[in-house]
């Protein structure tokens, strides 16, 4: 063997390396296992007061890290990208919920007694939620996609969801269609004005404020921010924080015995629907973002093709759309009631509990637990599938763009220092354009 030739790694070594590269999936399993074993630790009002430490601390830190990593110019550019907003939010709110409602209608038409009707209503509630707050940004970053685009869509989606989610819920769960048993019913004393006010407060505190602070810091001390961002491996820290958020979510589910209140058949249905829905809407996002039927650009092609070609998104934006539009989460919509010291009636609101507790606070705990189970199960499914698809998107983004892709090189030049992904994820010897 030549002196300079490195020996091929053994099969066992390759297996170990692969397992280590999938540490997030292992961490996800560990988070769920710890939540099942010690649910009172990370539950709301539990040992670590998760309604403050997790809902404010962890999520706030995730967006602070995001703010420290993004290019302000690119962020402003994506904020003006109305096509990105229209495609992402229409698929997320309208397309997703319409497909889910059709599936639920077919299941109800079968008159099966094995599927809990409240669970079906919970599936509809899951479908009209905005995109999740943290995981889609982390996955977009790991895949080398456009993190600015993902961040903007998270902000817009959760802001719109504050108003759109209750409206869509009332539209889908019509009494005349047999949904009278599960109409939204909040406890007395909390009007919509108070709910919207506190939703706005939590959006400001956990999302907008840390994002703005991060932007200010990295624009004032750009070199120092980049140095410490790489030194402290903030990209990895953000993923660990995401696992902590997931752990806390499952602590609440296990503490309220949510999975025990629902039939096994309902759980199996929700899990299979989750896998199918995430895969289907990822494909839908790819289709509408890339318009693959156009093929490669040809001389003398029809004018309608040239027009549509200009509407295609680049690969980085397409990745962000896929991770955002197919994801669902309670986001920052959560609010929890607390008892006033001066009165036994719930007159105040503490931010951080699931949206179910707002819209269905007037129902018993079992009903609320069943309604929230599809949300928890789909969140786990989407994180797992997103993590598995990161390498696929990363390989696609780093591959040479096909002939006919437009404006590919400018984006990399513009976003070259936009995040830790640029320095940690993309091989330094390879500067390939990020084609549309």
Tell me the per-residue pLDDT of 377-433, one tens digit each, with 9 for 90 and over.
998 899 999 999 998 999 999 986 544 444 443 343 334 444 433 333 334 444 444
Q: Which pLDDT belongs to residue 14?
A: 77
Q: Both ends of the chain: CA-CA distance in Å?
A: 45
Q: Per this entry, what is the length of the chain?
A: 436
pLDDT at 365 over 70: yes
Question: Shortest CA distance to 357 belongs to which of 125, 137, 93, 149?
Answer: 125
Question: Shortest CA distance to 24 belongs to which of 143, 109, 116?
Answer: 143
Question: Shortest CA distance to 51 belongs to which of 327, 332, 259, 328?
Answer: 332
CA 55 to chain centre: 15
Residue 101, by phi and psi: left (phi above 0), alpha (psi -120 to 50) or beta? alpha
pLDDT at 232 over 70: yes
Q: Which pLDDT belongs to residue 277?
A: 97
- pTM listed for this prediction: 0.79
- The backbone torsions φ and ψ at residue 336, rounded to the nearest 5 degrees and listed phi first, read -125, 135
Q: Is the pLDDT higher at 350 or at 73?
A: 73
pLDDT band per the 50, 70, 90 thresholds, residue 175? confident
* Angle made by CA atoms 153, 281, 162, in degrees to the nearest 5: 40
Q: Summarize pLDDT for 239-278 with one digit per residue, the tens.
A: 899 899 889 888 988 888 888 888 899 999 999 999 999 9
Distance CA 394, CA 141 (A): 10
């Amino acid at each position: 063997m030549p002196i300079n030739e490195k020996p091929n790694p053994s099969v066992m070594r390759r297996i170990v390396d692969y397992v280590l590269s999938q540490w997030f999936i292992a961490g996800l399993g560990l988070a769920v296992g710890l939540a099942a074993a010690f649910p009172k630790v990370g539950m709301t009002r539990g040992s670590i007061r998760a309604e403050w430490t997790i809902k404010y601390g962890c999520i706030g830190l995730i967006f602070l890290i995001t703010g420290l990593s993004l290019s302000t110019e690119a962020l402003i550019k994506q904020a003006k990208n109305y096509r990105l907003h229209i495609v992402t939010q229409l698929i997320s709110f309208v397309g997703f919920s319409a497909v889910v409602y059709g599936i639920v209608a077919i299941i109800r038409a079968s008159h099966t007694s094995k599927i809990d009707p409240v669970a079906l209503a919970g599936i509809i509630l899951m479908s009209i939620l905005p995109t999740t707050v943290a995981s889609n940004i982390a996955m977009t970053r790991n895949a080398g996609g456009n993190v600015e685009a993902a961040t903007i869509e998270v902000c817009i989606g959760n802001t719109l969801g504050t108003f759109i989610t209750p409206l869509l819920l009332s539209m889908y769960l019509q009494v005349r269609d047999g949904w009278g048993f599960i109409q939204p019913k909040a406890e007395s004393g909390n009007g919509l004005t108070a709910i919207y006010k506190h939703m706005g407060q939590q959006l400001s505190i956990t999302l907008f404020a840390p994002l703005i602070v991060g932007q200010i810091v990295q624009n004032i001390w750009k070199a120092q921010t980049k140095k410490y961002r790489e030194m402290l491996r903030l990209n990895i820290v953000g993923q660990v924080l995401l696992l902590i958020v997931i752990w806390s979510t499952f602590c609440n589910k296990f503490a309220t015995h949510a999975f025990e209140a629902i039939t096994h058949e309902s759980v199996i249905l929700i899990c299979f629907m989750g896998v199918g829905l995430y895969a289907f809407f990822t494909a839908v996002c790819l289709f509408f973002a890339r318009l693959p039927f156009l093929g490669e650009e040809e001389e003398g092609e029809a004018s309608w093709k040239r027009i549509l070609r200009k509407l295609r998104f680049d690969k980085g934006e397409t990745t962000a759309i896929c991770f955002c539009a197919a994801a669902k989460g309670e986001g920052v919509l959560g609010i929890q009631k607390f008892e006033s010291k001066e009165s036994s009636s719930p007159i105040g609101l503490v931010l951080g509990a699931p949206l179910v507790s707002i819209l269905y606070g007037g129902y018993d705990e079992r009903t609320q637990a069943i309604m929230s189970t599809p949300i928890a199960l789909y969140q786990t499914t989407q994180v797992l599938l997103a993590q598995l698809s990161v390498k696929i998107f990363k390989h696609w983004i780093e591959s040479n763009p096909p002939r006919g892709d437009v404006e590919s090189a400018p984006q990399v030049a513009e976003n070259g220092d936009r995040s830790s992904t640029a320095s940690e994820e993309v091989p330094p010897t390879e500067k390939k354009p990020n084609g549309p």
